[in-house]
Amino acid sequence: MTAANDARTTEDRYRQRQEFDRATFGTHCVNCFPNDCPVYVFAKDGKVVFEEAAAVLGTIEPGVPDMNPMICQKGLAWSRQMDSPDRILHPLRRAGERGEGRWERISWDEALAETADAILDAIAEIGPEAVVLEATPEIAATIPAARFMAALGGTVLDVDATINDFWAGQQAVFGKFTFASSIDDFFHSDVLLIWHSNPAYTMIPAFHYMVEARYRGATVALISPDVSPSHSHVDYHVPVRHGTDGALALAFCQVVLAEGLADLRFASEQTDLSLLVRTDTGEYLRESQLRADGRADRFYQWHPEKGLVPADPAGLRLDFEPLLAGSLDVRLAAGGHVVVEPLLARVRRELDAHYTPELAARVREAHPDTIRMLARKVARGRTHIILGAGVAKYFHGDLMTRAMLLLLGLTGNWGKKGTGVGGWCSSLFDGHGLALAKTKAGRAGAREIYDGFRAMVGGLRAQDPTLTSELGDRALWRLVGPARGMMPPAFFWYWHAGFKERWNRPEWNDPAMTRSFDEYWKEALESGAWNQSASPPPDRPPRVLLEIGGNTLRRTRGGQGVLLERLWPQLSKIVAMDYRMSETALHADIVLPATQHHEKVALNMPTPWTMLLTMSDAAVPPAGEARGEWEVLAELCKKLAERAKARGVEDYSDRLGAAFRLDDLWSRFTLDGVFADDESAVAEMVADAVEVGNLPAGTTLETFRQQGYTRYAKWGFLALATAQASPFPEGETHAPLRDHVELGHPYPTLTRRAQFLIDHPWFREGGEDLPAHKEAPPMGGDHPFLLSGGHARWSVHAMNTTNPVLLETHRGKPFLLINDRDAAARGIRDDAPVRVWNDVGEFVVPARTSPAQRPGALTVYNGFEGFMFPGGRGHNEVEPGLVKWLHLVGNYGHLSYTPMEWQPVPFDRCIPVDVAPIQEES
In 3D space, the residue among 341, 198, 194, 346 whose CA is nearest the CA of residue 278 turns out to be: 341
Interface mask toward ligand SF4 for 384-423; x: CB under 6 A:
----------------------------------------
Smallest gap from Cβ 417 to ligand SF4, in A, equals: 24
Smallest gap from Cβ 550 to ligand SF4, in A, equals: 19
Residue closer to ligand SF4 (CB basis): 137 or 874: 137
Residue closer to ligand SF4 (CB basis): 521 or 709: 709
Interface mask toward ligand SF4 for 9-48; x: CB under 6 A:
------------------xx---x--x-x-----------
Query: Distance between CA 658 and CA 458 in Å, rounded?
Result: 27
Smallest gap from Cβ 432 to ligand SF4, in A, equals: 17
Residue closer to ligand SF4 (CB basis): 72 or 476: 72
Residue closer to ligand SF4 (CB basis): 202 or 401: 202
- Residue at shortest CB range from ligand SF4: 75
In 3D space, the residue among 420, 410, 415 whose CA is nearest the CA of residue 261 turns out to be: 410
Q: How many CB atoms lie within 10 A of CB 732?
A: 17
Question: Which residue stretch of 65-73, 275-283, 364-372, 820-828 sits at the interface with ligand SF4 (rule: CB under 6 A)?
Answer: 65-73
Smallest gap from Cβ 70 to ligand SF4, in A, equals: 6
Does 74 bind ligand SF4 (CB under 6 A)? Our answer is: yes
Smallest gap from Cβ 142 to ligand SF4, in A, equals: 16
Angle between helices 245-258 and 397-410 (to 10 degrees): 20
Per the CB < 8 A criterion, the answer to whether 724 and 425 are in contact is yes
Residue closer to ligand SF4 (CB basis): 38 or 780: 38
Residue closer to ligand SF4 (CB basis): 720 or 796: 796
Does 72 bind ligand SF4 (CB under 6 A)? Our answer is: yes
Query: Distance between CA 162 and CA 482 in Å, rounded?
Result: 17
Q: Give phi and psi for 619, each to the nearest 5.
A: -75, -30
3-state secondary structure at position 507: helix
Residues whose CB is less than 8 angstroms from the CB of residue 350 and which lie 6 or more positions away in sequence, other chains included: 770, 772
Does 798 bind ligand SF4 (CB under 6 A)? Our answer is: no
Smallest gap from Cβ 508 to ligand SF4, in A, equals: 36
Judge residue 565's burial from the number of C-beta atoms within 10 Å of its C-beta, 0-12 exposed, 13-18 middle, 19 or more buried: exposed
Count how many residues are written for the chain: 922
Residue closer to ligand SF4 (CB basis): 72 or 592: 72
For 368, the enclosing helix (H) or strand (E) is helix 368-380
Residue closer to ligand SF4 (CB basis): 205 or 866: 205
Q: Which of 64, 71, 191, 434 binds ligand SF4 (CB under 6 A)?
A: 71
Does 54 bind ligand SF4 (CB under 6 A)? Our answer is: no
Distances (CA, A) of 776 to 158, 771, 904: 25, 15, 16
Residue closer to ligand SF4 (CB basis): 584 or 803: 803
Does 175 bind ligand SF4 (CB under 6 A)? Our answer is: no
Residue closer to ligand SF4 (CB basis): 74 or 873: 74
Smallest gap from Cβ 74 to ligand SF4, in A, equals: 4
Smallest gap from Cβ 206 to ligand SF4, in A, equals: 8
Looking at residue 472, its amino acid is G
Cis ω before 814 (30° cut-off from 0): no
Question: Which residue stretch of 16-24, 64-72, 228-236, 631-639 sits at the interface with ligand SF4 (rule: CB under 6 A)?
Answer: 64-72
Q: What is the largest CA-CA distance in the chain?
A: 103
Does 792 bind ligand SF4 (CB under 6 A)? Our answer is: no
Smallest gap from Cβ 72 to ligand SF4, in A, equals: 3
Does 610 bind ligand SF4 (CB under 6 A)? Our answer is: no
For 816, the enclosing helix (H) or strand (E) is strand 816-819
Within positions 690 to 729, which residues make up the interface with ligand SF4, using CB under 6 A? none
Does 322 bind ligand SF4 (CB under 6 A)? Our answer is: no
Query: Distance between CA 88 and CA 579 in Å, rounded?
Result: 5
Within positions 642 to 701, which residues make up the interface with ligand SF4, using CB under 6 A? none
* Dihedral, CA of residue 315, residue 320, residue 323 and residue 327, to nearest 10: -80
Question: Which residue stretch of 72-80, 139-147, 229-237, 367-375 sits at the interface with ligand SF4 (rule: CB under 6 A)?
Answer: 72-80
In 3D space, the residue among 405, 394, 495 whose CA is nearest the CA of residue 155 turns out to be: 495
Smallest gap from Cβ 203 to ligand SF4, in A, equals: 8
Per the CB < 8 A criterion, the answer to whether 273 and 342 are in contact is yes
* Dihedral, CA of residue 780, residue 781, residue 785 and residue 791, to nearest 10: 10
Residue closer to ligand SF4 (CB basis): 206 or 544: 206
Q: DSSP secondary-structure letter at 892?
A: B
Residue closer to ligand SF4 (CB basis): 35 or 551: 35
Smallest gap from Cβ 183 to ligand SF4, in A, equals: 11
Question: Which residue stretch of 68-76, 254-262, 295-303, 570-578 sits at the interface with ligand SF4 (rule: CB under 6 A)?
Answer: 68-76
Smallest gap from Cβ 678 to ligand SF4, in A, equals: 18
Residue closer to ligand SF4 (CB basis): 52 or 664: 52
Smallest gap from Cβ 37 to ligand SF4, in A, equals: 3
Smallest gap from Cβ 621 to ligand SF4, in A, equals: 22
**E strand residue ranges, 332-456:** 337-342, 383-387, 420-421
Strands 191-195 and 219-223: parallel
Residue closer to ligand SF4 (CB basis): 38 or 390: 38
Smallest gap from Cβ 81 to ligand SF4, in A, equals: 12
Strands 857-859 and 219-223: unpaired
Smallest gap from Cβ 99 to ligand SF4, in A, equals: 30
Question: Which residue stretch of 67-75, 110-118, 431-439, 647-655 sits at the interface with ligand SF4 (rule: CB under 6 A)?
Answer: 67-75
Q: Which of 153, 205, 445, 536 binds ligand SF4 (CB under 6 A)?
A: 205
DSSP secondary structure of 691-742:
HTTSS-TT--HHHHHHHSEEE-SS--SSHHHHTT-S---SSS---TTHHHHH
Does 748 bind ligand SF4 (CB under 6 A)? Our answer is: no
Cis ω before 593 (30° cut-off from 0): no
Residue closer to ligand SF4 (CB basis): 35 or 509: 35
Residue closer to ligand SF4 (CB basis): 614 or 699: 614
In 3D space, the residue among 875, 879, 777, 867 whose CA is nearest the CA of residue 817 turns out to be: 875
Angle between helices 343-354 and 245-258 (to 10 degrees): 110
Does 612 bind ligand SF4 (CB under 6 A)? Our answer is: no
Residue 3 has, within 13 A of its CA and on its CB side, a CA count of: 0
Query: Distance between CA 779 and CA 771 in Å, rounded?
Result: 22
Residue closer to ligand SF4 (CB basis): 75 or 542: 75
Does 75 bind ligand SF4 (CB under 6 A)? Our answer is: yes
Smallest gap from Cβ 207 to ligand SF4, in A, equals: 11
Per the CB < 8 A criterion, the answer to whether 574 and 587 are in contact is yes
Q: How many residues bind ligand SF4 (CB under 6 A)?
A: 11
Per the CB < 8 A criterion, the answer to whether 167 and 423 are in contact is yes
3-state secondary structure at position 532: coil
Residue closer to ligand SF4 (CB basis): 244 or 610: 610
Query: Distance between CA 449 and CA 469 in Å, rounded?
Result: 17
Smallest gap from Cβ 803 to ligand SF4, in A, equals: 11
| Interacting residues with ligand SF4 (CB under 6 A) | 27-28, 32, 35, 37, 70-72, 74-75, 205
